[in-house]
Structure formats: structure tokens, C-alpha cells
Amino acid sequence: MKNKKSGEAAAPANADQLSSNGAEKQLAFTKHCENRRLPTDTILNYLQTQFPKQYELAEVVGKWIWLDSPAKTKRLASGLWLLGFHWNDRRGVWQHPCGKFDPIGSHPADPRIKYGSYFVADVKPI
């Protein structure tokens, strides 16, 4: 049995990995927060090139983008989250605010009624 007279605990063997992992998580969270401020067109362009299946499902509600598709893979969920999306459990969709945050809080009614909406796949390019 070891006698610990010092108030300091010994560092775990994987301390370097833990601090590195913590720094990576902080960097990813910072990127997530920055990307939430990107405009709608920028996010749609990114979806079109990097996640074409999700682009086809994208619905623009006001200025926000909604994806009515649960991420089936960790890679997809991580990619959407890093891009600035968050999962809204109540509505069952991935949402991206595109820089338009509501300081008052959640909408009790369907925001599609208040702000209007359209599916990106239904819009014909000029």
C-alpha cells in the first residue's frame, strides 16, 4: 500500500493523450460555434459537395436549415455537428441556425408557418 503524504495525485499514464484529446474537443467545439454563424448559402454549398444525400433532404425554414434525417453513422453525425448543426430532439431534425439565433427561446408552434419554408431539391437552378 502506498502512503500519499503529498496532496498531489500522480498523473495518469495517458495524461498526454487526455490533454491532447481535451484540446481537440475544445478546438472542435470552437469550430462548431463559428460555423453556426455561417450564412444559409454557404452551408447549402458545403452540404451539396460534402453530404449530397443530406443536401437533397435539406429544408430551409426561414434562414435556418433543417435535415429531417437522423445521422445513421458516427461520421455523418460528427460531420454535421462540426459544420454547426445540432440535433433537435423535440422536432426530430438536425438544425443549423445560419447565424440567425432567437434570443427569446424555442418556438411553441411550427416555425414553418411563421417564416415559410422550401426544400432545396425542389428549387430549379436558373
Q: What pLDDT digit, counting tens, does each position of 43-75 carry?
A: 999 999 999 999 999 999 999 999 987 777 888
Whether 16 is in a domain gets the answer no
Q: Judge whether residue 17 has pLDDT over 90.
A: no
Residue 102: pLDDT band with limits 50, 70, 90: low
Give the pairing of strands 93-96 and 64-67. Answer: antiparallel
**Angle between the 74-83 and 40-50 helix axes, to the nearest 10 degrees?**
160
Q: What's the whole-number average pLDDT of the chain? A: 81
Strand order in the sheet with 117-119: 86-88, 93-96, 64-67, 58-61, 117-119
pLDDT at site 111: 82
Q: Quote the cell numbers at residue 49.
A: 459537395
* Global confidence as pTM: 0.71
Whether 44 is in a domain gets the answer yes
In residues, how long is the chain?
126
Domain count, the chain: 1
Whether 66 is in a domain gets the answer yes
Whether 14 is in a domain gets the answer no
Whether 11 is in a domain gets the answer no
Domain holding 85, by residue range, is: 37-122
